[in-house]
Structure 1
């Protein structure tokens, strides 16, 4: 076999190997709804301890739909519908007050929490795993 043929065969082999490797790598599609930024998380156990304190020094926001809220919510939660949420709804809350947000699993509340942080609220946390995780860990909900 001539030197040209060996080089040509080697080039084809390398080209096939690169093509095979590239075909195995799936391109990542960008999801426009995917949250890159995250609000700091608060565990269910930590929220339970905060709720047990006599002087609640925080505001708890339920960001779910009205239907979800009516099925039960965490004690003392203030309802703010994710679909219609406006920062003006929280004009009575000082920017340095601790705010804890939650929804069913954490996605909607993260988006509301990011809006709060971007608006200058300084101490915002998202309930880890949402009310689904809260209930799974045996913590109570209310319909009051």
Structure 2
């Protein structure tokens, strides 16, 4: 009788260990396969965060891309990405529907990426399906600026 209980206890430990390893493995897999695309249940569409290198390629390879600078006018005049259009943050946040076309492709940036991410979320949740976000903002941009 005692031997049966020991065997059952041993099996219980084996099953518990296997489940723990499985849970840790699934958690690691989910963590390691994190995508750059940002999704939310409240968003109808997604925007994609891209690196400065990817943004440079996107700009060079897409004539239909509009680059939106959502910083202040003074910051824009101090230096901006070539061909960028200035739409200050508050104006973009409140008047995006009258200023922008839903079917167009946009690359949005600011200083650090925080304000531009808010704009990207606003646009994507309101039917703009082709939104790219410069990760890290212009601070991470290592290419020429127009002054």
TM-score (norm. length: structure 2)? 0.62
Aligned residues between the structures: 104
**8 Å contact kept, 2:102–2:129:** yes
**8 Å contact kept, 2:50–2:132:** yes
Per-residue deviation, 1:131: 0.4
The answer to whether the aligner puts 1:46 opposite 2:54 as a matched pair is yes
Give 1 or 2: higher helix fraction: 2
Q: Is there any run of 5+ residues in structure 1 with no aligned partner, and where? A: 1-35
Match of 2:89 among 82, 91, 101: 82
Q: Secondary structure at the match of 2:66?
A: strand
* Structure whose CA Rg is larger: 1
TM-align CA RMSD? 2.3
| 1:123-138 alignment, distance < 5 Å | 123-134=130-141, 138=142
Per-residue deviation, 1:95: 1.4
Match of 2:104 among 97, 101, 109: 97
Q: Is there any run of 5+ residues in structure 2 with no aligned partner, and where? A: 1-38, 41-45
Render the CA deviation track for 1:15-71: whole Å, top value 9, x for unaligned. xxxxxxxxxxxxxxxxxxxxx968420111111112223x51211100111111110
